[in-house]
Amino acid sequence: MVKLEHPLRVLHIVSGDLWAGAEAQVFTLLGQLQALAAPKVVVLNPGELADRLRQLNIPTIILPEANLSSLQIFMQLLKIIYTYKPHVVHTHRQKENILGGCAFAVNRLLGRAGVSVRTVHGAAEFSPRGLRRVQEYINTWVGRYIQSQLIAVSEDLRAQLLATFKANKLTLVRNGVDEQALRALLPSHLNTEQAFHVGIVGRLETVKRVDIFLAMAAQLTSAAPSINWQFHVIGDGSLAAQLKATAASLPLDGRVQFHGQVNPVAPLLAQLNMIVMCSDHEGTPMVALEALALGVPLLAHKVGGLAELLAGCEALLVSDHSPEGYADKLLAYCRAPCAPVSLPAEYTARFNAQAMLALYNRLLSAA
């Protein structure tokens, strides 16, 4: 048994290469853990996450992967873990799992007690090939034999992980959002113009299916021309230019606005009448939680954590994963709006942090 000390020293290792759902969740969790434990963070890229963590006065070390080899990062992690003596090493994403997990294992051989865990934020977006397959094998091996627990953010994701890991290695801890912090970002007066604003928020990458969103927009403007439709694409990515060209080729009459990356996004979310999430698959996206926390209706593909989040409200879940499927559901909502879905308590930041701390303590007591 590891001798428990308070506050617990917790080291998170995260990429931070962009500001997306995983980074937003790490930031929210650490903001809550700051009052409950002694967190420290290693970030592999300078940027939004590192800047925000430092604004909270959370000790943050940047090991820039653009300048350091994986071996150099590993050696630095060895030193950080040896010096900081964390009770918990918590990793996020594949590279961090491997380097952080292995650095933890070496320190444990040197007599440093503690546990290592990882959060699995979503399913793989593509099938690995070549060296990536080797990396995936190592990642799985680290999860099985070095790390004590894998944390899934949705029940669907946990079920997928059961194909690779034993049930006793898996724990469900749902993502959480800080409602009070979100509302503090809102302007005093929200937009009241007579238009129906529909948005999609996320990385402009294939898995997010912004192409479906744009085709849905064209169908809506044709099927219900009396509605002053306005569409908003919020985010950036490798498909930005291609998607803008697609929008220009559709009969949308300039009704689509590409906002690029927006931080913070809450003030813009609050102006929308509907958010659409038509990803091929999802864990539990932070923007979905933020939408519900702000009282913005969410129309979502019936997959992963989205299906769990909107359970009991079939009017807002889409099984027909096509432009027609989303357009039909959205029009039905416009004609007969259902009661708004509120954010369940288990998706709040406070609940998330307490569940994570309880997991840390349980694992340490058993170590």
List, for residues 228-256, the tens digit of each pLDDT value. Answer: 999 999 999 999 999 999 999 999 989 99
First vs last Cα of the chain: how many Å apart?
5
Q: How many CB atoms are located within 10 Å of the residue 158 CB?
A: 19
- Residue 219 in any domain: the answer is yes
Instruction: Note whether 157 and 287 are same-domain residues.
Output: no
Instruction: Note whether 100 and 230 are same-domain residues.
Output: no
Tokens matching residue 339:
């009661």
The count of domains in the chain is: 2
- Residue 3 in any domain: the answer is no
Instruction: Note whether 271 and 214 are same-domain residues.
Output: yes
User: What is d(CA 230, CA 221) in angstroms, rounded to the nearest whole number?
Assistant: 9
Angle at alpha carbon of residue 17, lines to 187 and 100, rounded to 5° = 125
**Does the pLDDT at position 52 exceed 80?**
yes
- Residue 198 in any domain: the answer is yes
Furthest CA-CA distance within the chain: 71
Find the helix packing angle between 48-55 and 21-33, rounded to 10°.
Answer: 10
- Residue 157 in any domain: the answer is yes
Instruction: Note whether 171 and 198 are same-domain residues.
Output: no
Predicted local distance difference test score (pLDDT) of residue 4: 58
- Residue 146 in any domain: the answer is yes
Instruction: Note whether 93 and 187 are same-domain residues.
Output: no
Instruction: Note whether 190 and 155 are same-domain residues.
Output: no
- Residue 1 in any domain: the answer is no
Instruction: Note whether 198 and 244 are same-domain residues.
Output: yes
Instruction: Note whether 271 and 361 are same-domain residues.
Output: no
Instruction: Note whether 190 and 125 are same-domain residues.
Output: no
- Residue 236 in any domain: the answer is yes
The better pLDDT of the pair 87, 341 is held by 87
Instruction: Note whether 83 and 204 are same-domain residues.
Output: no
Instruction: Note whether 190 and 333 are same-domain residues.
Output: yes
User: What is d(CA 352, CA 204) in angstroms, rounded to the nearest whole number?
Assistant: 28
Instruction: Note whether 67 and 168 are same-domain residues.
Output: yes
Mean pLDDT check: name the lowest of 210-219, 240-249, 307-316: 307-316
Domain span at 311: 181-345
Predicted local distance difference test score (pLDDT) of residue 191: 60
- Residues 31, 349: contact at Cβ < 8 Å? yes
**Does the pLDDT at position 126 exceed 70?**
no
User: What is d(CA 210, CA 204) in angstroms, rounded to the nearest whole number?
Assistant: 7
Q: What is the CATH number of the domain that holds 159?
A: 3.40.50.2000
Three-state SS for 159? helix
